[in-house]
Structure 1
Amino acid sequence: MMLAADIGGQIDFSPERRFHGTQHAVLLGGANLLIVGTRTGSNIGLYDFGAIARRHAMDLLVARFSGPVAAYDIYRCKDDQWFTGYQRAWFKDRFWLCPPDDVDQPFILAHRRGLQFSSHAPFPDARRFEAGLSLAAQTSTQWQEAA
């Protein structure tokens, strides 16, 4: 739910009332983005998650949590394509999903109107990129402790 709040927009906490198969998910209505969280390992459940998103013509963001580390898988419905192993970062008050270093995949801006894909990094240099990843990885408790 915090992930949906970070992205912004109108949040539907019970999309299963209108969209079959979306239990345990939240929907960002203006973005047509379904968000689910799981503790399963990478690439597990992609077919099942993708089938639900495809059925309802929605993009999908899967947050995978393993202890304090999170990875993100993104399904782009219009292309029927998965982008996996992403990390999140903040840059200029925007929420970005960044591909793994060794993969030539797009950077993704997540905001209240949807996902925007870019072939260019939003960061001017590697140092600012690492700082953005570091800031995005902080929990609210860590932010409070730092303050």
Structure 2
Amino acid sequence: MPIMSRPAGDATTLPFVREAVRRRLFAVAHQIGGLIDFKPHHRIPGAEGGILLMERNLLVMCTSQFRPLGWDLAEEICMRQGLDILLLRFDAYQLTFDICMHSGSAWLSHYRGWSADGEFWFIPRVDDGSRYVKASRYGLLLTDHPPYANARQREVGLATACPWDARMEVRA
């Protein structure tokens, strides 16, 4: 079972993650902006290791597990607390996001961070007609329209959103 019990209670939580994954969590939270609660587990059981962007009604969690591991816990928190969940997944070479909106019914998976002109978006890994998600001061907003006009702008925004070189960091 991918979810482990906390030693101090009966709530389930995602397994421990590496420091590199936690750094990505903080970098993404910083790019989205707003007030951050670094210990949301005090009021949200199962949110250990995550951070809450209070003004955005967004809980950001992280894991190195493969999909769909972690979805059950995150979806339970999403529905019970009325929060949107951003589940950050980081492996040796890429950072992707799974998004559970409290107003929606299905997971948005394999999304990537995209940034330009001070805006932060989550875009589908492949342009296949999936919806786009803008991180705004009101929380996560769904739209059918991409934040870029062409493939070059798409690639520039992807590079801007994730400026770190994962391959160099993995070797370190």
Deviation beyond 2 Å, 4+ runs, structure 1: none
Distance in 2 separating the partners of 1:72 and 1:121: 17
Q: Do the aligned residues in 2 keep the contact of 1:28 with 1:112 (CA within 8 Å)?
A: no
Partner of 1:144: none
Task: Determine if the alignment matches structure 1 residue 87 to structure 2 residue 112.
Answer: yes
Distance in 2 separating the partners of 1:42 and 1:87: 15
Q: Once the two structures are superposed, what CA deviation does each residue of 1:117-143 show, in whole Å capped at 9, x if it has no partner?
A: 1101110111111111122221299xx
Q: Once the two structures are superposed, what CA deviation does each residue of 1:4-37 show, in whole Å capped at 9, x if it has no partner?
A: 1110000000111112221111000011100001
Partner of 1:50: 75
TM-score between the two structures when normalised by the length of structure 2: 0.77
Task: Determine if the alignment matches structure 1 residue 36 to structure 2 residue 61.
Answer: yes
Distance in 2 separating the partners of 1:140 and 1:111: 26
1:5-24 map, 5 Å: 5-24=30-49
Structure 1's unaligned 5+ residue stretches are 142-147
Structure ranking higher on relative contact order (CA contacts 8 Å, 6+ apart): 1
Q: Aligned pairs, how many?
A: 141
Higher share of residues assigned strand: 1
TM-score between the two structures when normalised by the length of structure 1: 0.89
State the SS of the aligned residue for 1:81: coil
Distance in 2 separating the partners of 1:138 and 1:27: 23
Distance in 2 separating the partners of 1:24 and 1:58: 16
RMSD of Structure 2 on Structure 1 (CA): 1.7
Q: Which amino acid in the other structure matches residue 72 of structure 1?
A: F
Q: Which amino acid in the other structure matches residue 81 of structure 1?
A: A
Identity within the alignment, %:
30
Q: Once the two structures are superposed, what CA deviation does each residue of 1:42-99 show, in whole Å capped at 9, x if it has no partner?
A: 2222122111221111000001000241010000111232100001111221111001
